[in-house]
Every structure is written in structure tokens, then in C-alpha cells.
Structure 1
Amino acid sequence: MSEQVHPPIARTELSEPAGPPVLPGRARGSWWWSDLRPLVLRLHFYVGVFVGPFILVAAVTGLLYTITPQLDQLLYRDALQVPVGTTQLDLSDQVTAAAAAVPDGTITEIRPPIAPDSTTRITFTAPGVAEDYTRTAFVDPYTGEVRAVLDTFGEWLPARAWIDALHRTLHLGDFGRVYSELAASWLWVLALSGTAAWAVRRRRRARVRRTLLPERSATGRARTRSWHGSAGLWLAVGMLVLSATGLTWSNFAGANVSALRAELNWTTPQTDQALPTGSGTTAVTDPAEVGATADRVLAAARAAGLTDPVAIVPAAEDGQAWQVKQIKRSLPLKQDAMAIDPATGEVLDTVRFADWPLMAQAATAGISLHMGILFGITNQILLIVLAVGIIAVVLWGYRMWWQRRPSRPGTTTPAGTQRPSATAIGVTGVVAIGLGVFFPVLGVSLLAFLALDAARQQLRGAAHRRKDEEPLDDTTATAKMAE
């Protein structure tokens, strides 16, 4: 009897198995996940590889944005702060001084000081200012000195406006908005798909602690996956919030969100600025008259209970009232507004934040949260942690891909050799079409990922069939006959 020789056992890196064993039939209550799991894992992988760079850029630029309040104080301290004096000048005197510094401008907004050591902001439209920007004069309310004249984007000073544009568009205009919409559209999908895959994987192995915390004893790709999964789980809620609030600013999805809010009456209420019939009041542009009217309407608003900080908006057309509105975007939010007759100081209409639709209040709070101003410094710290966490999770994801790259022997594709069922692919395709109606960038890219995965599976199948059909050489044929 000849001695049977067994082939040597290959030494491989010890790591966590790629997934639970595939058993005959379907476990009761988990058939839906058995169908979806391969597709979810592949989708998570493809999105991570191809959309990951956009999310990484959004996280890095968002991290920069969180520190802009401190950056403003560092760069524009002279424009923002003044020595505290004894008596503040009337707005009419401050407006006159600002108009002299911006002689070719038209006043569009006046913001009285928000603190005793703050400047008054007087905003103008002026020739030579970039689109969507205005020119703002910062005036010492005690002396009337114009401390600075800066081009601003809304209330943002130049440095913050530049970083804001970098975060939203990469300074590429409307074309650049696609990048941020792609990142915001897929961030929530990555958060949910990753959470589902990670939580189900760990639950089946009774590893609750390791679901929430990384495995320090693991090595190689298992260690990287442990950090990627546990950190992603902790960050998931924050990623969902950033995605939902970020989409409200996006180009395509944002327009659909605005249309939906209008249809459901979730929009921000506006004051009625129509003056009584026959008032004959015309819009004023002369700086001295604008300043005198600003004093009048501000006194009327404060007498009616409107507290600082506020912005005064002159009438843009004849027959319109002036508006005085609160502009506090941190808790407690102050967003009340009043329409005031500029000739008589009569309050014609009042809109209270408490009377806004609930979803309009939530949208305002969500946007402030996204910008890091809802909870002040605490909000900034939370966003910094979230941004750093997202950066780390993305980099860990790429490290996992590198450790599992196809050129390494013994590696497998995402979800191993399991293939998603036709039902899972069909349902996901229908979902992609449905999402595409409301979130066009997400829907189109999801269909592209499904097509890519289907093509990849077809190519792999064809390659395996060709390999099986190749004729055997003499050595291989002899070995086959001897078995």
C-alpha cells in the first residue's frame, strides 16, 4: 500500500471570517437580510471607494468652517470690537458716516451693536461687488468712526465666506455644488448601510462590547475593520443630521425640499409689508433720511417688545413697510419679525417664531446646528469631533481596501462569493428610481453603482467559465486521472 501524501496547509493571516457561514435554507426571520446583505455590503464598498473622496473633502472643509468664528475674531478684531464708551450715537449719525465711506452704495440693512463693545454693521449694494455679496461698513457706535469696510456674504466676513464657498462648491460655482450634493446624498446611505452590516454581524456573534468598542487585540484588516465599524456606529446619528441639513442647501435636492416645504406649508412665515392704502410713502435712499427712519422704526420695535439682536431692513419699493427682525441663531432662538410703517412708526404686522410651523422651526434649528452656532462653543466641539471622526472612518475604509486589494493572494470581493438575489437587485433599482425623483444625484449614482456591480459579476462569471473550459495540460490531466 502506497503512502498517501497530503498537500501542505497554507499559512494565512488570522483574521475575523468574512461573514457568517452560509447554511442550507434560510433562517427564519433573517431571509430578507440574507437577500440584501451581499448587495448592501457591495453598495457600501463601492460608495465608499468612489464617493469617499467627496465625503473626505466635505469633512475637511467642514472642519475648517467650524473654527471660523474664532478666525473672524483673530482677523477682524478691529472691525468687530470697539472700546466701550458712555453714550451711543443715533443710527442717523452712524448711517451718515457709513454712507460717506461707501459713497456709491445703497443701504439694504442696518444691524445695531449686539454688545456694548460691538460695532454697528451697515450693509450696501454697490458697484464692483461680487454676485451674492454686499459691502458692509463697520461703525464705532460711540464715535461714528468707520472701523472697516469689507465685502461680506450675508453676515459672513471675507475669510468665513471664502471657507463657506470652499465647503459648498470648492469655488467652482454651480458645477461645484454637485460635489457637496453627492457627499450629502450618500452620507446617510453609508451611515445606515454600515450600521446595519456592522450591528447584524456582531449580534450574530454575541459581541455586544466589540460592537461598540474596537478590538485592540485584533491584527491586520480585522483591527482596521473593528475601528472603522465601531467608530462609524458612534458617528452614525451625527452623519444623518449632517446629511439631512446639508441637502437643504443642495442644488437639485434642495430645490425639491423647498417645493415640498411650500406644498406642506412648512416655509418660514414672512411679515406683510404692504402699507395701508393711500399712505403715499415712498422708499428712501438718502442716507440722512434712511438713518432717521431707522431710529424711528427701531424705537417702535423695541417698544413693542422686540429685543436685540436685530436687523433693520429698509423698504425696497414704494408702498412697503420697513422690517425689523431678530437674528439670534443660537439657543434660545430669536427669530421674531415686525413690519413697521416708516412714516408713523406703527407696527403693522408681527410674526413670532413660536407661531412658525414646527418643521420651519426644526429647519432653522437644524441649519444653525450644521453651521456650529446653535449651542455655541459646545456645538463647535461636537462638529470638530464629528468631522475628525468622519475623516478617520473614510481613511480606515481605504486602508481596509488596501489590505484586501485584489492583488493580494487569498482575498475576496465584498460579501465574499455571495451574490445578491434578483429580488434584492430589483427592489433596490425601484428604490433608486424613486429616490431619483426627489434626490436626483443619489438616484442616478445608485443606478450607476447597480449597473457597475452587475457588469462586474458578469465579467467574473465569464472569466470563471473560460477557465473551466480551458484544455488541461498533460501534468494536470494525469493528476486528475490519479484522483
Structure 2
Amino acid sequence: MNTPTPSTAPRHRLRFYRAVWRWHFYAGLLVLPVIAWLALTGAAYLYKTPLDRAFHHRLKVVDIGRERLRPQQLLEAASRAQPGQVFRYTTPATDDASVEVAVMTPDARHEVVYVDPYTGAVLGQLPDRGTLAGVIRRLHSLDLFGPIASGVIELAAGWAILLVLTGVYLWWPRARVAHPAQVPAGQLGRGDLGGVLWVRGRPPQRLFWRDLHAVTGVLVGGVLLFLALTGMPWSVLWGAKVNQWVNGHDFGYPRGVRVEVPMSTQRLGQTTTPAWSLRQAQLPASTLPDPHAGHAGHDMRGMADIQGQAHDAMGLNAAIARFDALGVAPGYSVSLPRGAHGVYTASVYPSDLHAQRVVHLDQYSGQVLLDVGYDAYGPAGRALEWGINVHLGQEYGTANQLVLLLACAGIVLLCVSGAVMWWKRRPQRGLGVPPMPVERGTLRVIFGLLLIGGLLFPLVGASLLLIAALDRWWLGDNARATQ
């Protein structure tokens, strides 16, 4: 396809522009459907709490009574309704919320039993993470589609970063290097901001969709870049490696974690769902009491009958009373001790980052073995958690949710306009890949820039090499054949 070129545009800039456009096309081809999916599911997940309270009202919402029953009574009620090993007890976040008791059944299923904290009535049960919000989150993270699909998230995030950066270059106002979709050169000069700040044309015209794509992209591109970067911590390779890197160092992992207490081989992520930067944190170990010493004052109605733990453990009632006295924010989850050296762990991650907290108690003495909050994180941990909290729409309340909701709508529009624009310019044969520059120097520069990103994100880098090979030996020949 011949492209009108402004006389003021140097040929090397035109070559570079076309090379950038080619990789922008590849990035869009690979990730636009995934990005649209993530935007739709992410927008829904912004309102996870009201969605769950509305959709599971019978399980989640209770009438406020005068006084709550003791936690052990509620746990026993849940255990009667669903026999098995109780591994987590979640306290109500609000006065009208139910208690959630997570049980591993004899056939190894994880079920959550909902109990009225005022009457002890069992309201029903669901699979763990089986609420509407839980399903939306698993759809958003692609967990429902297996471990391989988790790698798609990392690839989509990396290619979305490439999509935004190349898109900004293509959008940037200049004495226009011609775009194959562009109107005649005289229609867009230095002073014309059509297609830069506003949309020209009408919906039947490709110019309309091209401008809509460009203007929408510049409006939501920054948010898309932010979401891609802050979504990386959940990725299968990059996220896991960075998690290991920030844990065990003062700049990331909380300074108070590596204290001189006996450490178990258990990880915090095995018993609860902690902040991302704490998933690899080891749990401290309870110290077995002297069998000849008394333990008067402990709640002897602990976990002996139901959980098979030592009779001199402090018990759930005393543990929750201790957590409440320490000022842990309401709605915290308590992971019960696993074995003789296990600990009671309270964890809570509310919208306020500074209220994030993890507290470990010795199951026998009730001694605080570890008490970690956001303010104790290193700078890398704080930055990561802040990014994740904003990504989830929690950090700045309603404003945070509205900005992300509008951005998600814009991202979907960006994907749709890109698809329509391609459809209107597609050739009768082939994908309609933008022309490949024949100058090796231009290709080397572009590929060198891409490799920098590939080094930062190895899985994305591997996919870049694969696409570059296809581009060089197969797609390139087809594209040249159609030019």
C-alpha cells in the first residue's frame, strides 16, 4: 500500500515510525482480547464487597443482636455442620456480617461455613473462594483455566506495556510521519490536533476509528501502563522471583520478621492469604511448654476436641481476645495452629494500607512472636503494596474505584476501536501486518529496545524472540508479498 508522506518528514523517521507501528500491531494482535477480558473482570471486582453482600445476602448479612457468642462456640457449630479440619476463622468486618469458618473436609475439599455470630445458626456454606467476587477474581487472574493460563497474565502485562509505549510514540504530535491509515498530508499539519486531542470523521469512516483509538489510548494509556506494572506481582515467573527477592531483605520484607525466635518450615501463604510481599514469609514456631509446669489461666477449651491439638493450648477464645486487645482491625482472619509447633496467625488487609497487619501468637503462652504492619515494610515492600492496593481500587476509596472503572471502560473501547480499525483496513489475504522496514539498522534499533524490556521481564522476552523469529522468517515474507 502506498502511503502519502509529508515532505518535511525525514526518511529515517518514517522507517522508524513504520517499525514501531509494526510492533504495536503485533502487541495488539496478541493481547487486545486478553486486555479486554481483564478490564471487564477487573471492573466487576472493584465492587467485590457490595457484590458479595448482595448476591450472597443470606450467607453474608445477619441481623444485629445484643452480644456475640464466643468464637469457640461458633467454630463448633460450623464443625457440626461440616465435619473436617478447621484451618481458618474470619471475624466479622461489620456488626451485620457473619463469621466465616474455613474447613478442609475429609475428602480434601476446602469449604467455608457461614455462621450468625449472635445466634450461632449455620447460614450455609460455599467452596473456599466460591463467592461471586471469588469467582470474578479467579476469572480475572485466569486461575480457573489452570497454571499455564497464569503465564498468560504475565505475557499480557508485558505486551500491554509494549502496546502503551509504542502507542504513545505513534500518537505523539509531530510534523506527521505518515501512517498507512492517515488522511492526505495536507489535512493534518503542525497546528491541527485532530486525532490527537479530538476525534474526526464519522463512525462509517476508518478515520473516525483511528482517531477514537488514538485519543482513547492517550487518555487511558497511563492507567493501563500502571495496571500492567502493578499486576506483574501476581505473575507466574516474574512475580514469584520478585517475591523471593523482596522477602528476606530489609528493603522489602518487614524488618521485624527476621527476629530471634524459633522458625518453622511453614510459609504464611500456606495458611492464609497475606499481602503479596509476605507470601514467602516463614511462620515462627510455638515453644512446647514444660510438661511439669502449670498453665493456669489458659482457655482449656481450645482445639483439643475438634482439632486434635494439645490440651494446654490457649484456645481460639483466648487467641481472639488477645488479637482484639492488640487492636487488629475488624474482619481479620485467624489461621489456626498446625501441629504442636504451630501458631495462631491473625492477618487483615483493609482498604487502609496502614491498617494492614500480621500477628503471630505462641499457641501455648499467647506471647506475640511477630507483629508486622505496613509501616514496618521496607521501601520496596511499601511501594509494591501501595501499587497493589491502588490496582484493587482500595487505596483512595470511591475516587479510586471510579477512576479505574472509567479506565476499564476506556480500555475496552480501545480494544474495540483497534479491532474495528484493523477490520476496515485488512487486506483480502493475510493479516494486514504493517510493512517491514528493509534497512537492517532500523530493525536493530527497534529490536535492541525490545530486548531491554525482555531482560526486565524474561517470559515476555522469550515471547519477543519468538515473534521476532516469526516476523523475520515467515510473517516478513508474507508482508512483503502483499505490499
TM bracket, shorter-chain basis: 0.7 to 0.9
Separation in 1, partners of 2:479, 2:48: 50
- Report the residue type matching 2:147 in the other structure: D
- Alpha carbons of structure 1 residues 376 and 290: separation in structure 2 relative to 1, 3 Å: farther
Matched position secondary structure for 2:138: helix
- Displacement of 1:208 in angstroms is 4.9
Aligned to 1:215: 200
Separation in 2, partners of 1:329, 1:140: 22
Aligned to 2:252: 266
1:324 aligns with 2:342: no
- Alpha carbons of structure 1 residues 420 and 334: separation in structure 2 relative to 1, 3 Å: farther
Q: 2:334 aligns with which of 283, 303, 312?
A: 312
Q: 1:254 aligns with which of 230, 236, 239?
A: 239
- Alpha carbons of structure 1 residues 304 and 162: separation in structure 2 relative to 1, 3 Å: closer
- Displacement of 1:20 in angstroms is 5.3
- Alpha carbons of structure 1 residues 255 and 343: separation in structure 2 relative to 1, 3 Å: closer
1:302 aligns with 2:298: no
Separation in 2, partners of 1:366, 1:290: 43
Aligned to 2:181: none
Aligned to 1:447: 465
What pairs with 1:200-239 in structure 2 (closer than 5 Å)? Answer: 200-201=173-174, 205-208=190-193, 211-215=196-200, 220-239=205-224
Matched position secondary structure for 2:315: helix
1:427-466 Cα distance to aligned partner (Å, 9 max, x none): 44345455445534422332233334434444565788xx
Separation in 1, partners of 2:69, 2:313: 11
1:305-342 Cα distance to aligned partner (Å, 9 max, x none): 333232222221323332223x1331354212222233
- Alpha carbons of structure 1 residues 252 and 298: separation in structure 2 relative to 1, 3 Å: same
- Report the residue type matching 1:144 in the other structure: G
Aligned to 1:175: 148
What pairs with 1:36-185 in structure 2 (closer than 5 Å)? Answer: 36-103=16-83, 105-130=84-109, 134-153=110-129, 157-169=130-142, 171-185=144-158
- Alpha carbons of structure 1 residues 450 and 86: separation in structure 2 relative to 1, 3 Å: same
Separation in 1, partners of 2:201, 2:147: 45
- Alpha carbons of structure 1 residues 117 and 291: separation in structure 2 relative to 1, 3 Å: farther
- Displacement of 1:221 in angstroms is 1.9
Counterpart contact for 1:271–1:338, Cα < 8 Å = no
Separation in 1, partners of 2:436, 2:72: 75
- Displacement of 1:423 in angstroms is 2.7
- Report the residue type matching 2:321 in the other structure: A
Counterpart contact for 2:105–2:111, Cα < 8 Å = yes
- Displacement of 1:275 in angstroms is 3.2
- Displacement of 1:298 in angstroms is 2.1
Choose 1 or 2 for highest CA Rg. Answer: 1
Long gaps (5+) in structure 1:
1-16, 465-483
Aligned to 1:360: 381
Matched position secondary structure for 1:387: helix
- Report the residue type matching 2:315 in the other structure: T
- Report the residue type matching 1:391 in the other structure: V
Counterpart contact for 2:195–2:214, Cα < 8 Å = no
Counterpart contact for 2:287–2:364, Cα < 8 Å = no
Matched position secondary structure for 2:228: helix
Separation in 1, partners of 2:158, 2:408: 17
Matched position secondary structure for 2:370: strand
Q: 2:393 aligns with which of 372, 376, 381?
A: 372
- Alpha carbons of structure 1 residues 357 and 209: separation in structure 2 relative to 1, 3 Å: farther
Matched position secondary structure for 1:85: coil
RMSD (Å), alpha carbons: 3.4
Long gaps (5+) in structure 2:
177-188, 254-276
- Displacement of 1:140 in angstroms is 1.0
- Displacement of 1:170 in angstroms is 7.0
TM-score scaled to structure 1, two decimals?
0.78
Separation in 2, partners of 1:228, 1:140: 51
Give identity over the alignment, percent.
26
Aligned to 1:467: none
